[in-house]
Structure 1
Amino acid sequence: MLPRLRPLSLLHHYKSSLTTTHLTQIHSQLISNGLTHSPSILARLIERYCASSPPHAHLITTHFYNHNNEPNPYLFNVLIRCTPPADSITVFANWVSKQTLKFDDFTYIFVLGACARRAKALREGLQIHCRVIKHGCLSNVMLQTTLIHFYVKTDACRFARKVFDEMPVRTRTAATWNSLIAGYCARKDHARDGLLLFVDMLTGDYGVKANDTTLVCVLSAVARLGYLETGVGIHACIEKTIGGVESDVYIGTGLVDMYAKCGCLDAGLNLFMRMRHKNVHTWTAMVSGLAVNGKGKRALKLFNDMIDSGISPNSVTFTSLLLACSQAGLVKEGLSLFKIMKTKFCIVPLSHHYGCIVDLLARAGHLEDAFEFIVSEKVESDEVLWRSLLHACRLHNDVVMGEKVAKILISMKPEFDVKGCDRNEDYVALSNMCASAGRWEEVAKVREMIIDKGIRSDPAVSAVFT
């Protein structure tokens, strides 16, 4: 039961605890008191409804514009901003077809933001971009920046760069530069372009300076590419412009991650120890760096220090730790980590966690245990796990287990697979297993199956450069 407060006070004070029932009661009070003609009050009500009952928010917006000759799209913008991305795009498309409301710059900003958050919304965003050009709204810097953000999120970096290049140089803000730099740096095939754009930002007279967001993005690109000299130069630039990084947890974490992934563990550890504030990402970056450099025992020790300092690990932390155990052959420790991940820290294992355990057991030659693990964890449908085990069987020359796993993989495939070349890998593996055991009759049968089922194998290509 809600306390006796005015409806407006309830909307202000109870931001997250209001249920749909409470909101309908407040809505009734607003109607009784004649307060539903105020756009600002309805905007707050729409925000609350979007969190618990989006259809109510849609009805309020439609009712307002149907019964009020109000050309201002303010309430519609609130609805677009607060609803889930897929709903925002659908609602926008429906109102476009009605042609009863003239949209403003904020409408396009919010709906493009929804397209950026929704996977595979490039087509819808392109259509919205066309409307923006048609209605002459492209001079808005916020809208242009949102367009860049949308394109990089939908893997259309060339469109993002086109929007960026067409902007007047002096209108670009730090957010504009950061949107494109972050989009480039997040992809390995474009990371170098991000670094070049960052250099252009520093050396050009654009009136914009790099901020924390810029530096974290370029450091991630350096770590991804392994450009240690570039990373050292960026570190020097940071020290010169910002000062010591020991008190900035985000830049410090970026530098630790960069040094560790570039193989400069001593510099990374030195910086890590000097940092005054460390969060879970800082600890995970250092653990991951030790793992990829083959320092499994040191990674486990650092994990214990992390727990002692009161920081709870996340899913990525355990991925790095399991990888470290796998590379160092620490079977007992890896299985223990997998267990406490689920029981103590309540982290649901993902496919790569299962993959790390299968790899851990397989590397150590415990192929039967790896098989039982896949079955007991009920992840038999994951082809990657079985294929990883099959590869281990070939390395350890365990023909019996390899034949068993190969047949499981083949049975998981549909009878008629258009992508025949994908199926060929498992048949060839089975054929090789039988050949290793001298079972030539079975080799012939497998080869006949490949021909009968029309499974195509793409020929390998090799080249010699002189």
Structure 2
Amino acid sequence: MSLISYLLEHKPKSFNQLKQIHALLFTTGLKSPIRLSKLIENCFTLKPCINPNYAKHIVNHEIDSNTPFLFNTLIKCTKPNDSILLFANWVSNSSIVYDDHTFIFALGACARFGSLSGLYAGMQIHCRGLKLGFVSDVAVATTAVHFYAKNGRMGFARKVFDEMPVRNLVSWNALITGYSSQERDCVENCEKALVCFKHMLNYGGLGVKPSGSTLVCVLSAAAQLGSLEIGSCVHGYVVKTADGPENDVYIGTGLVDLYSKCGCLEIALDVFAMMKVRNVLTWTAMTTGLAFHGKGKEAIELLYEMKWCNVMPNIVTFTSVFTACCHSGLVEEGVHLFHKMESEFGIRPNIKHYGCIADLLGKAGHLRDAYDFIVGMPNKPDAVLLRSLLGSCRLYGDVEMGEKVGRMLLQIEQDDNRRNLSAPVEDYIGLANVYALANRWDDVSMVREEMRSRGLEINPARSASH
């Protein structure tokens, strides 16, 4: 290995060193597309990325080579928004050729961009790929499926998939992952994910053997549907055709999540116990399962066992533990753990953690403590947190506290909606219900009048048949 290759492989330590290597490539005659591509990648791995424009300078200097190799590398390494702009500028230069990787990296950038502008740009790039015949390539078409799925356009993703002349494992994974990760119409999309998995096993008569990623997505879809039958079948498939869930941390974690959500906590604990490797997701899935079944003490014990196994919990782990405490009524234990989060586990509480503790105190009837806890928060409380406490005030019939929390909630909602200066109808109704519990009908009328003055109306109830 030459000195230059060695330096490129081991990454320059500074921007000056990177420029020196670039100069050596010219003076020694060792310049090649592969080495220049590595140099471009190193421009973006320097921390901090001092001058990403230098990578563009390298590509522009070599643009006469009429090859997209270096430009593709630039699109791959650049931030998504910049990648889209680079592709748009490239399109205006008709003397430069494309290849399939150009569209793969450009569509990939649009998938990562995650906004309407990224969606529109990706659709235009996809159309250009269709016009030039690149979408017939399985990798380009698969990236298009991934792009549409990431943007929540599963209809387009399915159309691209159905029109593919050839599909491979990655293509099926892109579609199944897309269906199982949609937040809108979750049940319908999860059902479609399972149907796709069935078709995948029978594709072309011989079927396509699923990978670990496929099985994880299928388990996720089954868990969201609460389908124990399908999840058990996938479990059996894993045992028969793979190394077993104990050897694959992601499949094992998926099974723990599945059985917990389907009410089979003992089976989830058995799978968890036999796993040889567990990561923070595994521990969190098991903690969430215990929380779901109201096993607060067991969830706390698992948290400390996790720490003993040198796996540090994350913010989701603590949310699960606090939820378990809330379901089990473990007020002292939950509050004590909250105050030890940062000092013992290095996790700074966020708004969800504060909400869990406020909910814990409120549901246990400690309304004054819950209110003081909310007021003492370092950040402004959100509407969800205050609605929870208002519900507890209504549950325990504390009108004075309910009034205070209700007015606080309305003020926050009005501050967050300054354009129409109106809180959601349900918040006014919540406050009115608190007054109604104490037979303070004049105050109920006052709230109703305030709703009318702001143009808020209660939607009339309708039966399911209508």
So what's the TM-score if we normalise by structure 1? Answer: 0.90
Contact 2:200–2:207 (Cα < 8 Å) also in 1: no
In structure 2, the residue matched to 1:176 is 171
1:184-221 CA-partner distances (Å, limit 9, x unpaired): 12232311111111111223425411121111111111
User: 1:99 and 1:403, CA in 2 relative to 1: closer, same or farther beyond 3 A?
Assistant: farther
CA distance in 2, matches of 1:100, 1:150: 28
- Work out the CA distance in 1 between the residues paired with 2:9 and 2:343: 40
* 2:134 counterpart SS class: coil
Q: Percent identity?
A: 48
Q: How does 1:419-438 map to 2 (within 5 A)?
A: 423-438=424-439
Instruction: Give the C-alpha shift of residue 258 in structure 1.
Output: 1.0
The answer to whether 1:47 aligns with 2:47 is no
Further displaced range: 71-80 or 350-359: 350-359
Give, in whole Å, the separation in 2 of the partners of 1:225 and 1:197: 15
**Which amino acid in the other structure matches residue 47 of structure 1?**
E
1:371 and 1:25 map into 2 onto residues whose CA distance is: 62
Tell me: CA distance 1:438–1:331, structure 2 relative to 1, closer, same or farther (3 Å).
Answer: same
Q: Which amino acid aligns with 2:86?
A: V
Deviations 1:22-78 (A, max 9, x none): 4344445555x265953323212211112313222223222332xxx2210111100
The whole-number CA distance in structure 2 between the counterparts of 1:12 and 1:228 is: 49
Amino acid at match of 1:133: L
| Partner deviation per Cα, 1:287-346 (whole Å, 9 max, x = no partner) | 111110111112222222222222221222111111101111111221232233322222
**Quick one: distance in 1 between partners of 2:351 and 2:327?**
18
Q: Distance in 2 between matches of 1:159 and 1:236?
A: 33
Closer/same/farther in 2, CA of residues 437 and 224 from structure 1, 3 Å limit = same
How far has the Cα of 1:419 moved from its partner? Answer: 7.0
Would you say 1:247 and 2:254 are equivalent positions?
A: no
TM-fit CA distance, 1:373: 2.1
AA of the residue aligned to 2:429:
V
Report the residue type matching 1:38 in the other structure. S
Which deviations, in whole Å up to 9, do the C-alpha atoms of 1:391-447 show, x marking residues without a partner?
Answer: 221112111111111111222234876778852222222222223333333322222
Rounded Cα–Cα distance in structure 2 between residues aligned with 1:50 and 1:392: 52
Instruction: Name the SS for the 1:413 alignment partner.
Output: helix
Could you tell me which amino acid in structure 1 is paired with residue 312 of structure 2?
A: S
Counterpart contact for 1:421–1:456, Cα < 8 Å: no
CA distance in 2, matches of 1:234, 1:96: 46
Q: Is the 8 A contact 1:178 1:214 kept in 2?
A: yes
Give distance in 1, aligned partners of 2:390 and 2:298: 30
> Is 1:80 equivalent to 2:78 in the alignment?
no
- Cα distance in 2 for partners of 1:94, 1:436 equals 66
1:246 Cα offset (Å)? 2.1
Measure the CA separation in 2 of the matches of 1:426 and 1:158: 37
Q: 1:147 aligns with which of 133, 144, 163?
A: 144
SS in 2 for 1:124: helix
Alignment of 1:16-95 (within 5 A): 18-30=13-25, 33=27, 38-51=32-45, 52=49, 53-65=51-63, 69-95=64-90
* Structure 1 consecutive aligned stretches of length 4 or more whose deviation exceeds 4 Å: 5-8, 28-31, 34-37, 415-422
Q: 1:125 aligns with which of 106, 122, 127?
A: 122
**What does 1:391-430 correspond to in 2, within 5 Å?**
391-414=391-414, 423-430=424-431
Structure 2: runs of 5 or more not aligned: none
| Cα distance in 2 between the residues matched to 1:281 and 1:11 | 35
* Alignment partner of 1:106 is 2:101: yes
Q: Structure 1: which amino acid aligns with 2:217? A: C
Alignment match, 2:221: 221
Moved more, 288-297 or 438-447: 438-447
Conserved 8 A contact 1:36-1:42: no
Q: Distance in 2 between matches of 1:303 and 1:347?
A: 13
The number of residue pairs the alignment matches comes to: 453
Q: Tell me, in whole angstroms, the C-alpha distance in 2 between the residues paired with 1:360 and 1:154.
A: 37
Structure 1 window deviating more from structure 2 (54-63 vs 133-142): it is 54-63
The alpha-carbon distance between structure 1 residues 41 and 35, as it changes in their structure 2 partners (threshold 3 A), is farther
How far apart, in 2, do the equivalents of 1:441 and 1:316 lie?
44
Distance in 1 between residues matched to 2:171 and 2:300, nearest whole Å: 41
Aligned to 1:157: 154
Residue 312 to residue 352, structure 1, CA distance change in 2 (3 Å): same
Structure 1 residues 432 and 172, CA gap change in structure 2 (3 angstroms): same
Q: Distance in 1 between matches of 2:110 and 2:158?
A: 18
Distance 1:184 1:335 in 2: 39
The CA deviation string for residues 209-260 of structure 1, in whole angstroms up to 9 with x for no partner, is 1121111111111111111111111112222222533222222222122111
RMSD: 2.3
1:198 alignment counterpart: 197
Give the partner amino acid of 2:34: S
- Classify 1:58/1:344 alpha carbon distance in 2 versus 1 (closer, same or farther; 3 Å): farther
